[in-house]
Chain A
C-alpha cells in the first residue's frame, strides 16, 4: 500500500490533504466549543489571538469554531449529493447501456438535454422556489438533482465497452440474467472508474453548493464554508481589511478542492491502466 502511494504521487498528495482536513475536523470538534460558531457568541472583529486563534467575525462568531463546525457541513452536502448523483447515474447508465433500445435513447436524451442547460441557473431557480430557505440536507438534495447527469453519460460509455467483452458473452451462455451479469460480471470491473467518478462528483457538488451559498441562497443559519464566504462578501471584509476572516475559509476550501483533485488524478491512474507508470 505505502509503496504504491510512493509511486502514485497524486494519490498520495490527495490522501495527505484530505487526511489533514479530517484531522482538523475531528480534533477540532473534540476540543473547540462549537457553540461559539453561533452569531453573538463573542466579541466581534477580533484579529487572531490565543483566545480566538482564527479571530472573530462581524457577527460575533469565533471563526475557529465556525470552520470546525462548518467544514463538515459543506463536506456533508458534497458527499450526499455526490453519492446520490453517482448512485442514480450508475443505475441509469447500466439500464441504458446494457439494454439499449428505446430506454437508452430516452435516458441519453434527457441527460444530454440536461447537460446543455446551465446547471447553476437551474439550481438557483430551485433554491429560490423553496419557501423559507434551505436546510443543509435540502441543499444536498437540490444539488443532487443535477449531479446525476454527467455520471450517467460517462458510466454509460464504460458499460457499452464492457458489454462487448468475451466474458459477458460467456455469462450469457451460462444463462445469466441481465441484472446478474451487470452485478457480478460488469460492476466489479467498473469499481475503480466509479470511485474516480464519485470523487469528481463530490467535488463538483461542493462547488455547486458553495456557489449557491455565496449568492445567499444557502442555509443562513449554518456556518458552512459557502455561507462564511457570503458573510465575508456581505460585510465587505476584504475592503475593510479584516484579513483573518477570509484567510481561514479560503485555505480550507483550497485544501478541499486540491485534495479531491489529486485524489481524482490518483484514482484515474488506477482506473485507467494505460496511465500507469512503468515500473
Chain B
C-alpha cells in the first residue's frame, strides 16, 4: 500500500532572509497522509494566520517546505521527473477561494475546461472533448447550454465556482484540495457546491481536503478534521468526536463562538476569559487566550497525544497515556 499523498513533518517559514531577521512560521511540523484505498473528506479548519492556505500550497507543490517533505506515491514532490510530475498534476486537483480571479477574463469560461482536456490528452477528438466537458458540467448540476460560450463576468459566483469543481472532475483525480471553496459564495448555494464535493467522494472515490474557517460546514461535509492554530495542529480526528466533545480549549472556543439560529440569546454575553499568561519563546501558542492555561503551557510546547483511537490533541491537559510518540498524526489517518 503506497500512500497517495503524504506530508512528513512539514515546516514552512517565510521571510528571514539576509536583511530580514524576523521570519514568520506559517506551518510547523505538520504530518498527514491520504491512503488511496480509503477515500475520505478531511477538513482543515483554522482562522487566518493559522497556516491553512500555506498548507494547501505546500500540498499542491506550489511552494516548497522549509523542512520536511511532501511525497506523492512515495516520491518527493520536488524531485519528480517530467512524466511523474504530469501525473501528479493530474491526480491532485485544486479549487480556489476566489471564483473570479481564477478565470482569465480574455477567454470564455470554456477555456478553463478545454485547456486541461487538451494538456492531459483526455480526449481523442473535439466531439469527445465536448462530451467530457458537458458530462462534467452536468455532474455538478449545471446546464452546459447556460455555461459554455459565456464570459466569466456573465456567470454568477456560484456558477463559476461550480465550473471549477467540474474542471477538477474532468481529470478524474484522486485528491481534490479545496481552499475555502464556498466562502465567497452565497449561503444558499453553499450546500449545492459542498454537496457536489460529497458526491464526488462517495460516488467516485475522490479524497477531498476541505480547507475552511467555517467549522459548521466542515462538520457537515467532512469525515475527519484537523484544527490548526497559528501554524500548529491543535486537535485532529474523527469529526463527530472533535465537534461534539472537543478537548482542545481552542476548539471549544471555536464551537461556542458560532452564532446559532435559536431563541436562546447568550452568544453576545458568554465570553470565556483568558488567563492572560504572557507567551514565552517556546510553549503553547494558545497560551495568551486560553482560559485554562497552566504555567507549564508557557514553557513547554504540548506534544500531539493520541487520546482516543481516532483523535489527537496537543494540550497539556490531555497527555498521552502511552507517552510521547512520533508520527501520531499521520498514523491516525492511515490506520484502519
A: which residues have CB within 8 A of B?
165-167, 169-176, 185, 188-189
Contacts and interface: CB of A to CB of B under 8 A. Distances in A.
A175 B103 contact: no
A167 B89 CA distance: 16
A169 B103 CA distance: 10
B101 A173 contact: no
Contact of B62 (A166, A172, A185, A189): A172
B86 A173 contact: no
A189 B116 contact: no
Contact of B89 (A165, A169, A174, A189): A174
Contacts of A189: 104-106
B115 A169 contact: no
Contacts of B116: 174
A175 B119 contact: yes
Contact of B96 (A166, A171, A172): A166
B112 A169 contact: no
A186 to B, nearest CB: 9
Interface string B46-80: 00000000000000101000000000000000000
A188 B106 contact: yes
For chain B, what secondary structure do more than half of its interface residues adopt (helix, strand, loop), or is it mixed?
Answer: loop
B119 A174 contact: yes
Contacts of A167: 101-104, 112
Interface string B96-116: 101011111111000010011
For chain A, what secondary structure do more than half of its interface residues adopt (helix, strand, loop), or is it mixed?
Answer: helix
Interface residues of B, number: 22
Nearest to A191: B106
Given A165-B104, A166-B96, A169-B62, 15 more contacts: A166-B98, A166-B100, A166-B101, A166-B102, A166-B103, A167-B101, A167-B104, A169-B102, A170-B94, A170-B96, A173-B62, A173-B89, A188-B104, A189-B105, A189-B106
A169 B96 contact: yes
Given A165-B101, A175-B89, A189-B104, A170 B62 contact: no
10 contacts: A166-B100, A167-B101, A167-B102, A170-B102, A173-B93, A174-B119, A175-B85, A175-B120, A188-B106, A189-B106
A166 B101 CA distance: 5
A175 B100 CA distance: 21
Contacts of A166: 96, 98, 100-103
Nearest to A189: B106
Contacts of B60: 173
A174 B100 CA distance: 18
Contacts of B120: 175
A172 B57 CA distance: 12
Nearest to A168: B104
Nearest to A273: B105
A176 B119 contact: yes
Contacts of A172: 62
Contacts of A174: 89, 115-116, 119
Contacts of A188: 104, 106-107
B313 to A, nearest CB: 34
Given A166-B96, A166-B101, A167-B101, A175 B106 contact: no
Select the residue from B60, B102, B119 with max chain A CB neighbours within 10 A. Answer: B102
Contacts of A173: 60, 62, 89, 93-94
Contacts of B96: 166, 169-170
Nearest to A188: B106
Contacts of B89: 173-175
Interface in B235-260: none
Nearest to B103: A167
Contacts of B104: 165, 167, 185, 188-189
A167 B104 CA distance: 6
A188 B62 CA distance: 24
Contacts of B98: 166
A22 B107 CA distance: 34
B171 to A, nearest CB: 9
A187 B79 CA distance: 30
B294 to A, nearest CB: 43
A168 to B, nearest CB: 8
A188 to B, nearest CB: 4
In order of increasing CB-CB distance, the 3 nearest A-B pairs are A166-B101, A166-B102, A188-B106
A189 B93 CA distance: 25
A185 B96 CA distance: 18
A169 B98 CA distance: 12
Contacts of B115: 171, 174
Contacts of B102: 166-167, 169-170
Nearest to B119: A174
Nearest to A176: B119
B86 A170 contact: no
A171 B119 CA distance: 10
Interface in B110-138: 112, 115-116, 119-120
A131 B107 CA distance: 52
A172 B60 CA distance: 11
B95 to A, nearest CB: 10
A166 B94 CA distance: 12
A118 B253 CA distance: 64
Nearest to B104: A167
B215 to A, nearest CB: 26
A16 B36 CA distance: 66
Select the residue from A167, A169, A171, A185 with max chain B CB neighbours within 10 A. Answer: A167
